[in-house]
Amino acid sequence: MPKAVIVGGGIGGLTAALTFHHFGWRVEVLERSQELGEIGAGIQITPNGMKVFRAMGLEEAIAENAFVPRALEMRFGRSGRQIFEIEAQKAVVERWGAPYLHLHRADLVDTLRRLLLKRQPNAVRLDAECVAYTQTPEKARVLLDSGDTVEGDLVVGADGIHSVIRTQMLGAEHPDFTGNIAWRAVVPMAQLGDLAPPPTACVWVGAHRHAVTYRLRGGTLANFVGIIEREEWTSESWTEEATRDEVLAAFKGWHPIVTNLIEQADVHFRWALFDRAPLSQWVDGRVALLGDSCHPTLPFQAQGAVMAIEDAYLLAKLCSETPNDLDAALTTYFETRLPRTAQVQRASRGNARLFHRPTPLSRALTYGPMWLAGKVAPSIIRSRQDPFFAYDIREEPLR
């Protein structure tokens, strides 16, 4: 039985482990932290991602602690006036073939971990920091900072935006600051009273900034993400804390639903949004990249984690179909996934401009037609998501 060594125990790495196991491989996940977990924040798993979990019989377990939004919605940030609202439960399944879920990242990671360990006990090795990889024509190996070596038939680099695997494969790279910084926070719904966010996936738009609100953990938590344009930034940390006053200042004068969320949050995490052009290479012999290690995506299309989930399924499927020709499998993986992930990266950048219209005229010209479509032809708004949500990685043909 072939073995995949997966560097990184986040959403992408754990999904890769589950998909490889599903296709008959042994797996070993190497996670540098001393425990698996995520800083508190929400995540959206759109229908294209849920199709992967369904294919492995995991949909019910993934959905157990989720929240299903009533609608997809857009509002003006200051007035709260609704631009459009389109139903997102039955209509989502009918149009795109699977549900649209909101989850707490920690819940998703914990569920993936439990599902993996149920299938292959001891599949996860903690406190295992990768420093390099080596390979022969038959095997690939990961060198740990402890001096240990872990060997497999394939190494998968799912170690995120600061990937050690990518750096060795392609050299050090210098991402471009997008001019946007973001804050995130999670607040118990019980603290929000009459100013709780709507039970929707809601984008609040405004000049040079926007916010996103939605509910988590069966509706007991509210998730807030706020993005504002800023000229300079140097940090790329995902866990840097910000002050409540800093976030309130960025959204001064906005609707009370937004500002109340900010006020009630105990902790705000801040991170700068950096962009990277599509890479020329994701594969080196028996080593392949996955997820943010090769195509980090701005959080404006709700597709970052889902792209890693799609990657994991196709990579495992191809390698299981041609286990004696991994070169061909990995080449097909890269050639298939590159245009798909580049399309999502472009759409995410475009949404940053869409959500941040700077003048009253530009907002009227952009959101007026959206308001009209929401009233008389909601299918037009849904069609904007067809390239992303309708996609089914299971249907990708072998080449």
Q: How many domains does the chain have?
A: 1
Query: Taking a C-beta distance cutoff of 8 angstroms, is the pair 158, 12 a contact?
Result: yes
Lowest mean pLDDT among 13-22, 27-36, 58-67: 27-36
Q: Which of 159, 136, 134, 151 is nearest to 11 (CA)?
A: 159
Residue 41: which domain range? 3-68+103-174+276-351
Q: How far is CA 87 from CA 65, 69, 199, 369, in A?
A: 21, 9, 11, 18
Query: Taking a C-beta distance cutoff of 8 angstroms, is the pair 200, 75 a contact?
Result: no
Where is 388: in which H helix or E strand? helix 386-389
Does residue 377 register a pLDDT over 80? Answer: yes
The overall average pLDDT reported for the chain is 93
Does residue 39 register a pLDDT over 70? Answer: no
CA-CA distance, 6 to 142, in Å (whole number)? 9
More confident residue, 399 or 349: 349
Where is 103: in which H helix or E strand? strand 101-104
Task: Quote the tokens at residue 258.
Answer: 């937004």
Q: Give the CATH number, domain containing residue 331.
A: 3.50.50.60
What is the per-residue pLDDT for 309? 98
Q: Which amino acid is at 15?
A: T
Whether residue 246 lies inside any domain: the answer is no
Confidence of residue 117 (pLDDT cuts 50, 70, 90): very high
Whether residue 296 lies inside any domain: the answer is yes
Whether residue 254 lies inside any domain: the answer is no
Whether residue 250 lies inside any domain: the answer is no
Whether residue 141 lies inside any domain: the answer is yes
Whether residue 207 lies inside any domain: the answer is no
What is the per-residue pLDDT for 398? 52
More confident residue, 195 or 378: 195
Q: What is the dihedral of CA 112, 113, 117, 120, to 10 degrees?
A: 60
More confident residue, 234 or 17: 17
The pTM of this model reads 0.94
- Tens of pLDDT, residue by residue over 244-283, are 999 999 999 999 999 999 999 998 998 888 878 889 999 9
What is the per-residue pLDDT for 233? 62
Confidence of residue 33 (pLDDT cuts 50, 70, 90): confident
Helical pair 105-119 and 11-22, crossing angle rounded to 10 deg: 30
Whether residue 226 lies inside any domain: the answer is no
Sign of the torsion formed by the C-alpha atoms of 111, 268, 234 and 358: positive
Active site residues: 214
- Tens of pLDDT, residue by residue over 273-329, are 887 888 999 999 999 999 999 998 888 999 999 999 999 999 999 999 987 899 999
Confidence of residue 235 (pLDDT cuts 50, 70, 90): low
Whether residue 184 lies inside any domain: the answer is no
Query: Taking a C-beta distance cutoff of 8 angstroms, is the pair 199, 69 a contact?
Result: yes
- Tens of pLDDT, residue by residue over 124-155, are 999 999 999 999 999 999 999 999 999 999 99
